[in-house]
């Protein structure tokens, strides 16, 4: 590469741009190989898949030093032809694919001919193989894609044995991180266990080099449950339910799913999700999330399920080529498939859930409490990494500028002052609170259960049917959304339904919430003062009274901190700061502008001296806070833009301004408002309605109070067809 660059240098006096050079082929190959074989367990997965592709009925794996020293995979498959040995480990040599179009119908697990080649660039590979009808086999070693010597005849048993030694010997950094990090052996065992559950007619074994006992040993069987029992134990199998769904009539969405899922009695620290799509062991993050979501909302106590699922669909519907190790796949009609699977799981769980509650209450209620507490500890960790944390301190996110027409809390703050008046005898309130010391007894659970039963018994079957099977059409205005059910169109009050949904979810997730961590503790007293100051009905004068109310309310919350934390994941620290809020719907955080109102409602409207009323009122306060109210910033579309003029005096004096001068608009506030409104719209469509379909039990009152209004019985008439 020493040819001079004929083009003139740019810039003259500055430093020369770095010369582009062609990398040496062996370096390119090593880089590529490191992507395909990321760690010892990925090599094992590739080798085992090759054995399965070769039709093996026995696959044995031996591993030394977590796979860094040695990986050996032996099978009794069809073996490799003598003539193919010279090119076996070259890149892009495969017996499974010849044209690009073959990719569409590929059934085997391998197809790129990259795995073996890659292993020879980052380790020493030795192959021993014999094909049917041969008297002896051959052994040959490979390095950097080529044979190191001519194949040597040797004694061999049916099939192929591939040995990979000193993996990553030439990738110092990779080797170091793998040596420092946890041994890869558990991952390898995990892979083999999964294969054993799916390929029930293959015998798998996996052991450490030199060990007498295998860590996985599966025997070929005809029953899936036997296979699961073999690998994961009888206690897992006891808590499994069979599921099955197919969708063969639905035009291009042909698919079939079958598997086993855990019931309410299965309690684990981690989800186990074994997913095979067209017999390939894969990950499908969105499906996994959807399932986790259904569990945590339906069976919070058993929200880390065991799932084995096998999905089959026409191979042309699966794009296997989106990930270098074929680990993630993407599916045609993925959303629809996930929706169907979600529904069937939910149905199954709902029936099992009822049984569970009765069983536990009759039996040992403290066991359930224990399970709850354990679960809560686990979730903290998960949330720390999994949740989008609030970046801005919460007290800065709350709109407090009284000049800002949008910032006034009073606009949605009706009738609070009469509640305040009720609390004249502050001392008695305190005493009641103090008398309520021990929230942790079994009746908590039964009062919560009573509330859930109330929800069930108030449910309107007709509306339930509408909600479950409706299609979201769009937003009609700031409060109403348009939905379609069969040939009928309905206007749905988004605020009302979301409030109810959040209330019901707060009861369902009771004691098992994930947490939203506030980036900075928010002092309760300040929040309360903010709420009181914005409450116009309180007037401007009573500053002292407001202070006192704020103080008392924050005391009440502090005294009940333990209980609201344990059951609702509302965490108040010992200094009276709010630090955590519950996740009521996954992927949804409430509008922090409404936090002061929420805290005041908690202080004012919660009944602390009666278990059931206490849970009801806390859940209602959460429902109100998390509901999808219109954002506090006014909608800037249409004439709403006037509200974002910097000079508001002209508005106040009632002058009518027609032209909105660009410069006169508070662009920052406008952008914020636009984001808030479009985000809300997105959330309504993608979070609220899908969750409503799954979880909402609409109360009978919603049929008559204007929450659901039928607008037209004939869609075609509306559309002018």
Give the shortest CB-135-to-ligand ADP separation in angstroms.
19
Q: Kindly provide the residue ranges of all beta strands, DSSP E only, lying in 569-621, ordered along the sequence.
A: 571-572, 577-582
Q: Which does 113 bind (CB under 5 to 8 A by kind): Mg ion, ligand ADP, none?
A: ligand ADP
Give the residue among 570, 580, 569 at the shortest CA–CA distance from 375: 569
- 73 or 592, CB closer to Mg ion? 73
Q: Which does 589 bind (CB under 5 to 8 A by kind): ligand ADP, Mg ion, none?
A: none
Q: Which does 94 bind (CB under 5 to 8 A by kind): Mg ion, ligand ADP, none?
A: ligand ADP
- 94 or 325, CB closer to ligand ADP? 94
- 116 or 600, CB closer to ligand ADP? 116
The sign of the CA dihedral 618, 619, 625, 630 is negative
Give the shortest CB-163-to-Mg ion separation in angstroms.
16
CB 172 within 8 A of CB 179: no
Backbone φ/ψ region at 483: left (φ over 0), alpha (ψ -120 to 50), beta: beta
Give the shortest CB-169-to-ligand ADP separation in angstroms.
20
Token couple for 444: 């908590």
Give the shortest CB-217-to-ligand ADP separation in angstroms.
20
CB 626 within 8 A of CB 688: no
CB 502 within 8 A of CB 622: yes
Q: Which does 51 bind (CB under 5 to 8 A by kind): Mg ion, ligand ADP, none?
A: ligand ADP
Q: Look at strands 58-64 and 203-208 and give their pairing.
A: parallel
- 315 or 334, CB closer to Mg ion? 315
- 90 or 339, CB closer to ligand ADP? 90
Place of tokens 């032996």: 74
Give the shortest CB-665-to-ligand ADP separation in angstroms.
59
State how far the Cα of 503 lies from the Cα of 702, in Å rounded to an integer.
Answer: 15
Give the shortest CB-31-to-ligand ADP separation in angstroms.
17
- 70 or 243, CB closer to ligand ADP? 70
Q: Which does 449 bind (CB under 5 to 8 A by kind): ligand ADP, Mg ion, none?
A: none
Q: Which does 80 bind (CB under 5 to 8 A by kind): ligand ADP, Mg ion, none?
A: ligand ADP
Give the residue among 461, 495, 456, 450 at the shortest CA–CA distance from 475: 495
Q: Which does 67 bind (CB under 5 to 8 A by kind): Mg ion, ligand ADP, none?
A: none
Token couple for 324: 């270098």
Give the shortest CB-210-to-ligand ADP separation in angstroms.
23
- 110 or 603, CB closer to ligand ADP? 110
Where do contacts with ligand ADP occur on this chain (CB under 6 A)?
46, 50-51, 54, 75, 77-80, 88, 94-96, 110-117, 160
Task: Mention every residue, 6+ apart, whose C-beta is less than 8 A from residue 153.
Answer: 136, 137, 138
Give the residue among 300, 241, 442, 267 at the shortest CA–CA distance from 360: 442
Give the shortest CB-80-to-ligand ADP separation in angstroms.
5
Give the shortest CB-160-to-Mg ion separation in angstroms.
12
Task: Mention every residue, 6+ apart, whose C-beta is less than 8 A from residue 291.
Answer: 273, 305, 307, 341, 342, 345
- 96 or 288, CB closer to ligand ADP? 96
Q: Which does 75 bind (CB under 5 to 8 A by kind): ligand ADP, Mg ion, none?
A: ligand ADP
Q: Which does 282 bind (CB under 5 to 8 A by kind): ligand ADP, Mg ion, none?
A: none
HSE-CB of 265 using CA atoms within 13 angstroms = 13
Where do contacts with Mg ion occur on this chain (CB under 5 A)?
50, 110, 115
Report helix angle 442-457 to 611-626, nearest 10.
60
Give the residue among 633, 665, 667, 644 at the shortest CA–CA distance from 399: 633
- 86 or 405, CB closer to ligand ADP? 86
Residue number of the CB closest to Mg ion reads: 110
């Amino acid at each position: 590469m020493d040819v001079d660059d004929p083009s003139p240098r740019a810039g003259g006096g500055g430093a020369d741009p770095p010369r582009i050079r062609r990398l040496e082929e062996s370096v390119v190959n090593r880089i590529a190989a490191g992507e395909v074989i990321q760690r010892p367990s990925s090599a094992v997965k590739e080798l085992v898949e090759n054995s399965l592709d070769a039709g093996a009925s026995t696959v044995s794996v031996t591993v030394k030093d977590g796979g860094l020293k040695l990986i050996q995979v032996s099978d009794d498959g069809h073996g490799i032809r003598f003539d193919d040995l010279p090119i076996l480990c070259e890149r892009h040599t495969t017996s499974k694919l010849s044209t690009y179009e073959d990719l569409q119908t590929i059934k085997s697990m391998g197809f790129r001919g990259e795995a073996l080649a890659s292993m020879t660039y980052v380790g020493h590979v030795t192959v021993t193989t014999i094909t049917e009808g041969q008297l002896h086999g051959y052994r040959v070693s490979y390095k950097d894609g080529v044979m190191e010597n001519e194949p040597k005849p040797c004694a061999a048993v049916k099939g192929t044995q591939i040995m990979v030694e000193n993996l990553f010997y030439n990738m110092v950094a990779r080797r170091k991180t793998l040596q420092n990090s946890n041994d890869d052996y558990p991952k390898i065992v995990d892979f083999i266990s999964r294969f054993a559950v799916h390929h029930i007619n293959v015998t798998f074994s996996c052991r450490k080099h030199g060990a007498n006992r295998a860590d996985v040993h599966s025997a070929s069987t005809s029953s899936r449950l036997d296979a699961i029992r073999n690998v994961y134990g009888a206690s897992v199998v006891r808590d499994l339910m069979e599921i099955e769904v197919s969708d063969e009539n639905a035009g291009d969405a042909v698919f079939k799913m079958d598997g086993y899922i855990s019931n309410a009695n299965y309690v684990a620290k981690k989800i186990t999700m074994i997913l095979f799509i067209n017999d390939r062991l894969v990950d499908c993050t969105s499906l996994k999330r959807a399932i986790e979501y259904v569990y945590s909302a339906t069976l919070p106590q058993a929200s880390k399920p065991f799932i084995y699922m096998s999905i089959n669909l026409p191979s042309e519907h699966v794009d296997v080529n989106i990930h270098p190790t074929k680990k993630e796949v993407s599916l045609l009609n993925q959303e629809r498939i996930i929706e169907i699977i979600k529904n069937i799981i939910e149905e199954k769980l709902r029936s099992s859930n009822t049984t569970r509650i009765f069983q536990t209450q009759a039996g040992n209620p403290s066991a359930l409490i224990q399970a709850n507490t354990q679960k809560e500890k686990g979730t903290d960790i998960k949330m720390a990494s999994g949740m989008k944390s609030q970046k801005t301190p919460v007290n800065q996110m709350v709109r407090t500028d009284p000049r800002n027409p949008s910032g006034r809390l009073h606009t949605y703050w009706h009738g609070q002052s009469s509640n305040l008046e009720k609390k004249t005898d502050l001392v008695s309130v305190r005493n009641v609170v103090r008398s309520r010391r021990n929230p942790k007894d079994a009746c908590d659970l039964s009062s919560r259960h009573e509330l859930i039963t109330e929800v069930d018994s108030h449910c309107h079957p007709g509306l339930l049917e509408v909600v479950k099977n409706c299609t979201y059409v769009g937003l009609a205005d700031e409060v109403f959304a348009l939905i379609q059910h069969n040939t009928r169109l309905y206007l749905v009050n988004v605020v009302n339904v979301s409030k109810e949904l959040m209330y019901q979810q707060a009861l369902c997730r009771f004691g098992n919430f994930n947490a939203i961590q506030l980036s900075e503790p928010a002092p309760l007293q300040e929040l309360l003062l903010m709420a009181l100051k914005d409450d116009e009905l309180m007037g401007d004068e009573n500053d002292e009274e407001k202070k006192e109310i704020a103080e008392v309310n924050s005391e009440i919350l502090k005294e009940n901190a333990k209980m609201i934390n344990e059951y609702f994941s509302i965490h108040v620290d010992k200094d009276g700061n709010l630090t955590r809020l519950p996740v009521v719907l996954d992927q949804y955080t409430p509008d922090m502008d409404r936090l002061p109102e929420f805290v005041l409602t908690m202080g004012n409207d919660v009944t602390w001296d009666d278990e059931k009323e206490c849970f009801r009122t806390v859940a209602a306060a959460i429902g109100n806070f998390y509901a999808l109210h219109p954002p506090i910033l006014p909608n800037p579309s249409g004439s709403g833009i006037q509200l974002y003029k910097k000079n508001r005096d002209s508005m106040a004096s009632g002058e009518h301004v027609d032209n909105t001068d660009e410069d006169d608009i508070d662009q920052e506030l406008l952008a914020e408002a636009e984001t808030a409104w479009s985000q809300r719209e997105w959330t309504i469509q993608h979070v609220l309605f899908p969750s409503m379909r799954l979880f909402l039990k609409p109360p009978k009152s919603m049929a008559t109070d204007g929450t659901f209004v039928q607008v037209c019985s004939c869609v075609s008439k509306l559309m002018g067809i």
